[in-house]
Amino acid sequence: MAPNVDLWLASTSPRRRELLAAAGVAFQLCEPGPEYVPGGGDEHSSERGEPGRLALDRAVRKALGAKVPATPVPVLGVDTVVDLDGLELGKPADRAAAERMLRALVGRRHLVHTAHCLCVPHLGRSWCELATAEVECGPPPEAELQRYLDSGQWRGKAGSYGVQDDAQSFFRVVRGAFDTVVGLHLPAVRALLARARAEA
């Protein structure tokens, strides 16, 4: 029997869960498929390739490889990539790596791509949407930068930051949607659900 939900969320991100829950989207969690191909990169490295394409490929792998029961409920895979001048910034392995990334971003603008893949496994159908936003990193006072690093809020986040983090005030979205930078663009999810209902 299918659960009474809109989708399975193939993600371990608490921020994506919070965004869906706040929007009233009914979901259940499932284990995502492998994010990286064997012999490829990992979350702490920068993979070669166009960053938006990397995000789409990972979202597809997460959705298509998710472990879910045999139900007609669609599966959503999501991936977010920070793009600095066409190069991906991964997740920092430690405080020193986070500081290097943040200093590379200071005083500059960069892109954040969040890719969404919605699949219906029993039909073999899938649909994708890519949302992109532009973010500016203002020059923070050194004391604020060090406080943010000390807070640990950068852990597990692409580019070493969360635009929503309360320990920093130097990142701001200048183009696109705030939720895209947080890690899930709700209008994209709603558009994918509508397409799945119309085409499946």
Please give the tally of structural domains in the chain: 1
pLDDT of residue 113: 98
Catalytic residues: 79
Picking from 75, 77, 93, the residue whose alpha carbon sits closest to that of residue 158 is 93
Residue 93 lies in a domain: yes
Mean pLDDT across 90-111: 97
Residue 151 lies in a domain: yes
146 Cβ neighbours under 8 A, 6+ residues apart: none
pLDDT of residue 135: 98
Residue 1 lies in a domain: no
Residue 68 lies in a domain: yes
Mean pLDDT across 180-200: 93
C-alpha distances in Å from residue 133, one per residue of 5, 99, 173, 194: 29, 23, 7, 23
Give the CATH number of the domain where residue 130 resides: 3.90.950.10
| Domain of 168, in residue numbers | 7-199
Residue 2 lies in a domain: no
Residue 99 lies in a domain: yes
Mean pLDDT of the chain: 93
Residue 184 lies in a domain: yes
pLDDT of residue 40: 65
**The model's pTM:** 0.93
Q: Return d(Cα 197, Cα 41) in angstroms, integer.
A: 35
Confidence of residue 1 (pLDDT cuts 50, 70, 90): very low
pLDDT of residue 44: 67
CB 45 within 8 A of CB 81: no
CB 87 within 8 A of CB 80: no
